Amino acid sequence: MKFSLVVISTLFACITLPISALELNKSLHSIVMDANEVLTLDNTADFSATDVSDVKTERLGPTSLAVYAPEKAGFYSLVLANSHAERTLMVIVKKPFNAKNKVLNNYQIGTYPAPYKNNPQYSAPSGLIEITEQDLTRQLTPHVQVRNVICKQVSGFPKYLYVNNDGLMMLEDLLKFVQREGIKVTKFAFISGYRTPHYNRSIGNGRHSRHQYGDAFDLYIDENGDGRMDDLNGDGKLTIADVDVLYKLFEKFQKQSRYTGGIGRYKPAAHHGGFVHIDNRGFTARW
């Protein structure tokens, strides 16, 4: 089904959801959308959707495509191609969620607090990603799977997850940056990603923990697979000094990138090795 530019303009005028924009770049692997949302995908030049795509698109201009999210929640394929290359993006449509509810399909979500200092970046998500057991190995980015970032609360399936587009792209950009800085790492290891307010409260974390909002991750480097932070400073010991190496790199990354947020250092403990928290809250925080 094709849409003319006139029809697109009418749709844009009538749609109640905000129209967001993303840039087609090497860090973009998945696009998280609300049901029936229209998103502008920039930097598409002469790319167009192929016949095998599950998602409708329409050319808006020389460098932009409109992407139309399906009505039903789920995972969809958007295949873009030109005469030189082909890009496959995963379009993830969230299941609508009313923040006044505490449970979604028997999964405990809990209650989202009022936005921190009325900051819209702390608004409850309008939808959550429904996850079956088979979805755990889906690649959200080339180096991050669903199982890396899903909430750790114990439950059956389906489970529900929230991550946002900037959070996912931040992880890819951060990995490339750390690699360029000379650290041996093929992918990050995760302590924590998304947390429902229910789980966040159960572990005694802060009421406005950024982990509830789709762009906060507790990371470490574990190339030897022992479940602990690697010896990043090369002194033959696993200590807070290795955490400091990663912390300083994350700070340098935020200073040189478009991402702004919190960075926190956590020393090794009996039940986990050292790790570093990073998020994209929109203002600087350090601990």
Pairing verdict, β 38-42 and 20-23: parallel
Pairing verdict, β 86-93 and 107-108: unpaired
Q: Per residue in 180-232, pLDDT tens?
A: 999 999 999 999 999 999 999 999 999 999 999 999 999 999 999 999 999 99
- Residue 14 inside a domain? The answer is yes
- Residue 77 inside a domain? The answer is no
Q: 45 with 136, same domain?
A: no
Q: What is the mean pLDDT of residues 132-152?
A: 98
Distance CA 24, CA 22 (A): 7
Number of structural domains (the chain) is 2
Domain final residue pick, 31, 57, 72: 72
Confidence tier at 148 by pLDDT (50, 70, 90): very high
Instruction: Quote the DSSP letter at residue 112.
Output: P
Q: Per residue in 92-128, pLDDT tens?
A: 999 999 989 999 999 999 999 999 999 999 999 999 9
Residue numbers of the domain that contains 142: 95-286
Distance CA 78, CA 60 (A): 17
Burial group, residue 47, by CB count within 10 angstroms (0-12, 13-18, 19+)? buried
- Residue 87 inside a domain? The answer is no
Contacts of 256 (CB under 8 A, 6+ apart): 177
Q: 65 with 162, same domain?
A: no
SS3 19: coil
- Residue 79 inside a domain? The answer is no
Q: 19 with 110, same domain?
A: no
- Mean pLDDT, the chain, whole residue set: 93
Q: What sign does the dihedral 207-114-97-40 (CA atoms) show?
A: negative
- Residue 201 inside a domain? The answer is yes
Give the pLDDT of residue 12.
40
According to DSSP, the residues that pair with 48 across neighbouring strands are 81
- Residue 280 inside a domain? The answer is yes
- Residue 207 inside a domain? The answer is yes
Distance CA 96, CA 210 (A): 21
The pair of structure tokens assigned to 179 is 């690699």
pTM over 0.85: yes
Q: 14 with 54, same domain?
A: yes
Which residue has better confidence, 152 or 99? 152
Domain of 143, CATH number, reads 3.30.1380
The pair of structure tokens assigned to 200 is 């966040």
- Residue 108 inside a domain? The answer is yes
Looking up tokens 């039903």 gives: 72
Q: 138 with 47, same domain?
A: no
Helix H, strand E, coil C: the string for 51-110 is CCCCCEEEEEECCEEEEECCCCCEEEEEEEECCCCEEEEEEEECEECCCCCCEECCEECC
